[in-house]
Chains A and B, each alone.
Chain A
Amino acid sequence: EDQVTQSPEALRLQEGESSSLNCSYTVSGLRGLFWYRQDPGKGPEFLFTLYSAGEEKEKERLKATLTKKESFLHITAPKPEDSATYLCAAGSARQLTFGSGTQLTVLP
């Protein structure tokens, strides 16, 4: 059975305090590792797709990396507007399995 586990469940940072979110996955035949951002009352918004170990993607203050067992979402010098729930999902040949998310709060 495909499994995706995210940690921590919640993270509070001061503005400018860099950190990383973790996503561990076990899927049969990984076809893609996806990161999404979800704001309250909204659907998840696509951020990145990673396909192979060693791959990295960047967007503004966010950088996603991938190994054979986990992915990290690094947040550099976060701002309050980065506050959201960050979801990762691993796609196999059958479906996309989501983690429970990390709720990030960035305090001014």
Chain B
Amino acid sequence: GAGVSQSPSNKVTEKGKDVELRCDPISGHTALYWYRQSLGQGLEFLIYFQGNSAPDKSGLPSDRFSAERTGGSVSTLTIQRTQQEDSAVYLCASSSDFGSPLHFGNGTRLTVT
């Protein structure tokens, strides 16, 4: 089937607005990750979901960031009161279990003006 799907592919928002980014993982993958990639930078880990376990939120940069995963499938990353430094590409990935290769979507490019 299909790979990891992310929407929207591009999002332009004004400073202070809230945004929601969506990720549809590969069917049957129990692990789901969010990463952030800024221009010229490596991928920065944000949050990790594994099955029904409590998510690893250790990478979220501030309490303006939150994520949920409903029904063990679709995930939404929410950024409240966006700031210009939030501008980046947000990548979602899924894997069949921890330690298996991650399969990435093409990301959402977020621009905060």
Contacts and interface: CB of A to CB of B under 8 A. Distances in A.
Q: Which of A43, A46, A99 has the most CB of B within 10 A?
A: A43
A101 B102 contact: no
Contacts of B102: 34, 44, 46, 96
A43 B101 contact: no
B4 interface: yes
Interface in B48-105: 48, 56, 58-59, 91, 93, 98-99, 101-105
A72 interface: no
B12 interface: no
A101 B42 contact: yes
Q: Is the interface of A mostly helix, strand, loop or mixed?
A: strand
Nearest to A88: B42
A41 B106 CA distance: 7
Contacts of A44: 43, 91, 102, 104
A87 B101 CA distance: 13
Interface range for B: 20 to 34
A43 B42 contact: no
| Interface residues of B, dominant DSSP | loop
A87 B58 CA distance: 22
A69 interface: no
Contacts of A94: 56, 58
A56 B100 CA distance: 17
A96 B45 contact: yes
A100 B99 contact: no
Contacts of B42: 4, 87, 98-101
Contacts of A36: 104
Interface string A86-107: 0101010011111111000000
